[in-house]
Amino acid sequence: MLPGILGTKVGMTHVFAEDGKMVPVTVIQAGPVFVTQIKTLEKDKYNAVQVGFGKKSDKSLTFPKYGHLKKAGVETNLRWLREFRVGDTAGFELGQEIKADVLNEGDEVTVVGVTKGRGFAGVVKRYGFKGQHMTHGYMTHRRPLSNGPTGPARVFKGKRGPGRMGGDQVTQNGLKVVKVDAERHLVLVSGSVPGPNGAFVTINKEGK
């Protein structure tokens, strides 16, 4: 069985558990995915299954990717391709369709996604700096001011300053599968997931 699945973030909502507690969840459209390549220990030095998800127009599909999908017997123009390491490739076939039922309620998962892009941001928004006085004629309310020591006469690497914020790959750990709707290809995961609505995410079972 595949140790994870690909999907897109739909949005956040909440459900009520059996004990009446409200649980915030993220709804993910997970799958269906199609097997596009099978890597074996003998040929590739490791066992893995490559799957594809999403749809793409004919004009947006590159010719090498078209040949790769045609070789796998997949008729759909898949947008994203990702690999999952497996212990044994037995039971997988090229072109095989895999649905969200590879996950079960209660499974602990990690979700990998790309955070929202915030553009160029200052230190107050980017790192939560306190800022300066807002009264008595102060003119540098949100600027970082002094930027380095006078001894070496340079700025040390890693110093926090203004710059591009967001758009980074983030792995969210410690999430649980609250509900799986295989017919509608939906998975409800406890807590928040990186990225805006519609963002591509990868769900991995923890320990797999």
Here the tokens at position 68 are 């790769």
Phi (first) and psi of residue 195, to 5 degrees: 100, 165
Question: What burial class does residue 121 get, using C-beta atoms within 10 Å of its C-beta: 0-12 exposed, 13-18 middle, 19+ buried?
Answer: middle
> pLDDT band for position 82 (50/70/90)?
very high
Amino acid at 174: G
User: What's domain 4-119+169-205's superfamily in CATH?
Assistant: Translation factors (2.40.30.10)
Indicate the helix (H) or strand (E) that contains 71.
helix 63-72
* Whole-number pLDDT of residue 199: 94
Least confidently predicted of 62-66, 108-112, 144-148, 163-167: 144-148
Q: Is the pLDDT reported for residue 42 higher than 70?
A: yes
55 alpha-carbon distance from chain centroid? 18
Phi (first) and psi of residue 186, to 5 degrees: -120, 140
The one-character DSSP state at 127 is H
Length of the chain as a residue count: 208
Domain limits of the chain? 4-119+169-205, 120-165
> pLDDT band for position 61 (50/70/90)?
confident
Report CA-CA distances (Å) from 150 to 10, 100, 143, 153.
50, 58, 19, 5
Question: Tell me: the pLDDT tens digits for 98-131?
Answer: 898 888 888 899 999 999 999 999 999 999 999 8
